[in-house]
Amino acid sequence: MKAPPRQVATLVVVTLALVGVLGYQLWDVDPADGGAVPSQPLSSVNTETANTVQVTSVKLEALTARHAVTATPTRDPFRYRMKPPPTPPPKPVLPTTTPDRPVRPTTPPPERITLKYLGYALGPAGTRVAVLHDGSARPPLLGKQGDVIAGRYRLLRVEADNVEIAYLDGTGRSRLGKGQ
């Protein structure tokens, strides 16, 4: 069976790399010559070169001495343990004292009254009757001061050029002028 060309090329590259690494390890570089020289045993070195080489002392006792092993190793690469989850941030401390002013729940403002004031008419006994329109095809709404209009509003005051109107519960008080 024939090997694919890709495997052959990979094998050639790996072999060349191995030969290069081994050649580099086995040959010493002499900086004076600028080239590679095969390593020579110390017995074949001439005495002139041996006198110029400085040898530091080797402490053989330190190499053969046994070091004390600690009872608990600081790191065990063969032991797997999950990291503990990070601690959650501390919760903010809320004040236990009551605020100076009581907190009132806010209600949304009432819906704007959309009636239009068309004018007034004089009723019996000279009372002013306001003529209001809600923008629909129905006939205009009529009412005097204090009357309930359309089951939702109370007519508070009727003047010649405006009326004051509010919701039945007293909220949403508005002043409607003529043509507004």
Evaluate whether residue 168 is within a structural domain.
Answer: yes
Evaluate whether residue 2 is within a structural domain.
Answer: no
pLDDT, tens digit only, all 180 positions of the chain: 677 888 999 999 999 999 998 888 887 655 555 554 555 555 555 555 555 667 678 777 777 777 665 556 567 777 777 788 899 988 887 766 666 777 777 878 788 888 899 999 988 888 999 999 988 888 999 999 999 998 999 999 999 899 999 999 988 889 988 866
- Domain hosting 172: range is 116-177
Evaluate whether residue 139 is within a structural domain.
Answer: yes
Evaluate whether residue 124 is within a structural domain.
Answer: yes
Evaluate whether residue 102 is within a structural domain.
Answer: no
Evaluate whether residue 166 is within a structural domain.
Answer: yes
Supply 158's token pair: 């009727």
CA 159 to chain centre: 60
- CA-to-CA distance for 89 and 12, rounded, in angstroms? 59
Query: What length does the chain have?
Result: 180
- CA-to-CA distance for 173 and 163, rounded, in angstroms? 11
Evaluate whether residue 138 is within a structural domain.
Answer: yes
Number of domains in the chain: 1
Q: 10 Å Cβ neighbour count for 56? A: 5
Report field, pTM of the whole predicted structure over 0.95? no
- CB-based contact 168:148 (threshold 8 Å): yes
**Per residue in 32-77, pLDDT tens?**
555 545 555 555 555 555 556 676 787 777 777 776 655 565 677 7
Q: 10 Å Cβ neighbour count for 133? A: 13
